[in-house]
Amino acid sequence: MPIGVYVRSEENLRNVKIANQKLTQDPEWRRKNKEANQKKAQDPEWRRKNKEAAIKRAQDPEWIRKQREKNENPEYIRKITEMAQKRAQDPEWIRKHNESSQKACKDPEWIRKNTEQREKMYQDPEWRRKHKEGIQKNIQNPEWIRKNKEALQKLTQDPEWRRKNKESTIRLAQDTEWLCKVVESKIGGFWYGNVRYYDGKKLYCPIWGPDLWNRIEVFWGGRSILSGVRINPNGRKLTKHHVYYNKKSCCIENDDGSYSVEINGQIYPIIGDPNKFVLLTDNEHGMLTGHLNKVWYMRYFEWLINTKFNGKSYYTQEEYEALKMEGF
Q: DSSP string spanning 12-76?
A: HHHHHHHHHHHHHT-HHHHHHHHHHHHHHHT-HHHHHHHHHHHHHHHT-HHHHHHHHHHHT-HHH
Mean pLDDT for each 10-residue chunk of the chain (328 residues)? 54 77 82 85 86 85 86 84 83 84 80 81 80 78 80 80 76 59 40 41 68 89 88 85 76 58 76 87 79 80 90 87 76
| Contact status, residue 213 vs residue 242, Cβ threshold 8 Å | no
Confidence (pTM): 0.41
| Helices 159-173 and 176-183: angle between axes, nearest 10 degrees | 80
Domain ranges in the chain are 175-325
Give the model's pLDDT for residue 278: 93
CA 12 to chain centre: 45
CA distance 51 to 62: 19
| Helices 27-41 and 44-58: angle between axes, nearest 10 degrees | 90
